[in-house]
A and B are shown apart, each in its own frame.
Chain A
């Protein structure tokens, strides 16, 4: 009986192996895997849409994998798609460190890999990277906020909602904010309050509430991501601080991403400035580089591409609003 079982198992394992180990490729259509970490904010949903749509428009077969914010799972998924014989992989990594490990895996398998919007933490792996220059964009937005603050003719109390510092984007944005802090030392009544958010709305809500309680005078607030505006509103509104720009209670407000909420707040006059990443541009650039590498047979393309971005403020709203992806979506919705 036991021998029978063993024999049966061995047969079951062997026969299909022999039959299919040749593993032939089905068609000439290019297949690209898109592995993203999650779709937790509007920004990533828009990014996901931008990439999948431009891939499909180009007649490319897309395989999508969601890692649910687990780097380990993302690594397994990337290995799976490599096995499926995809021609290229685009990932939105969970953080800069895991991006390196995953890119090295793809390098070893000889599959071109592109990393979207979150740069790897070092350059030891070969990959296509397209990333917004977070530091410059954040600095531009905060600069506008500082100019507004100067008009008040008094010192202000600054605060920043910091992202997950495992994410290089969050580090860059914080640095941009700090650059402006250093530039106008006489403008600040106190050193900036740093409010951790871990890129999580609930964490952000709790920490912002306690920060506002400890420092009720805060009147200059920069959030490292636009998706936190609803959180900010729910904290400031009960304090009578969620008011339009010319109201004396107004907290000078800035963000980064350029999403639909930011667009609406800019139009309604609650928001002073937001840094904009040009998502559509980033998707196009990534795709172009990827297709070029596939056509050229380059298995380990290595190129770093910058999205310069810009800050959309109340000052340049009239002229540059159309360049912001969130504005376009906002107008479409309307």
Chain B
């Protein structure tokens, strides 16, 4: 069935294409180029990329949960919690004036730093602890959703409150600095754009893509997302699948915490607290449906890319700060509307 390339048809095909968001980003970039000449300055490209990697990592984690028709509001608190815990392990000194009130003072944290202070193993142990925190919180979320059948929104809302409060409690709202140099090196760029963050994010994206499209777990994740009952009857271990998805989400948030905290050079109890809208917004723009069963890592990448470009360009345009969030919100709204439109067209074609 060959379709003619009449403009209406072409427009429809572009709208229905998987690469729609990418096309949109490209058009947006072309339009902006004469307005913001510095857009293509190597340093801006470097900024865009360094902003993109950590968001991409955490958004990919969210994608797994969204495919399940769930949502993970607690990713921001995972980031706060694991950045704090990791920093407590790795830091080489802590100021008694700030930390004497912390419940960790004297045991896990002293003026000589944390447990692994100045040890050559500080980096691997610190990172392992951070990932473990992410997995543990993810497990708690997944367990509550799968076994107790609690609504994901409530479960993750509660763990968001609980763990961000705990991160603040552990440090009494202080930031923990003096992290090992090797840790800070993760987000430093070499060869203009290549950085540890880039490598980590790309490797993670490739693995996530493989997991979703090629593995048993990925196939089962989609099946559970679209029809839990049918999956259960077909022998899919639905509970394990749900728990695993939330653990992936927690793990990705912990990895993002590594990238963000290494860039900020500190463990921060409020790390990422304002990031949730960006994470879900990027996913929605990418076309991942909140209703579950639909989504690809490539879509998440496009969504994150567009979102970062949008934020960067709004900064470069020097728009008033009152306007920036309004624009961002409108863009998410438009993305959600486009998704509805695409679904309508798809149905009409059936």
Contact = CB atoms under 8 A, between A and B. Distances in A.
Bind each other = yes
A71 B172 CA distance: 17
Interface stretch (B67-75, B142-150, B220-228, B271-279): B271-279
B22 A80 contact: no
A69 B42 contact: no
A63 B321 CA distance: 10
A71 B268 contact: yes
A12 B24 CA distance: 12
Interface string A54-70: 00000000011110111
A80 B263 CA distance: 15
B329 to A, nearest CB: 13
B97 interface: yes
B174 A165 contact: yes
A165 B269 CA distance: 13
B300 to A, nearest CB: 18
A101 B321 contact: no
Interface residues of B, number: 44
Given A65-B315, A65-B321, A83 B38 contact: yes
A279 B345 CA distance: 60
Interface string B160-197: 00000000000011110100000000000000000000
Given A80-B47, A164-B173, A64 B321 contact: yes
B104 to A, nearest CB: 15
Interface stretch (A14-22, A149-157, A233-241, A251-259): A14-22
B43 A82 contact: yes
A9 interface: yes
Interface in B29-62: 29-30, 33, 37-44, 47, 50-51
Interface string B17-28: 001001000100
A98 B260 CA distance: 12
A76 interface: yes
A153 to B, nearest CB: 35
Given A98-B175, A164-B173, A23 B38 contact: yes
Interface in B254-310: 260, 263-266, 268, 270-275
A65 B320 CA distance: 8
B337 interface: no
Contact of A166 (B44, B173, B263, B315): B173
Contact of A165 (B173, B266, B316, B325): B173
Contacts of A23: 37-38, 40-41
28 contacts: A8-B26, A16-B30, A20-B33, A20-B38, A21-B40, A23-B41, A64-B320, A64-B321, A65-B315, A68-B274, A68-B325, A72-B260, A75-B263, A76-B51, A76-B311, A79-B50, A80-B47, A80-B312, A80-B315, A81-B315, A83-B41, A84-B38, A97-B175, A98-B266, A164-B173, A171-B97, A171-B98, A198-B173
6 nearest A-B pairs in the assembled complex, by CB-CB distance: A66-B321, A97-B175, A80-B315, A83-B44, A16-B33, A70-B274
Given A23-B37, A73-B274, A83-B38, 8 more contacts: A16-B29, A23-B41, A63-B318, A76-B51, A80-B312, A83-B316, A84-B316, A171-B97
Interface of B: 19, 22, 26, 29-30, 33, 37-44, 47, 50-51, 97-98, 172-175, 177, 260, 263-266, 268, 270-275, 311-312, 315-316, 318, 320-321, 325
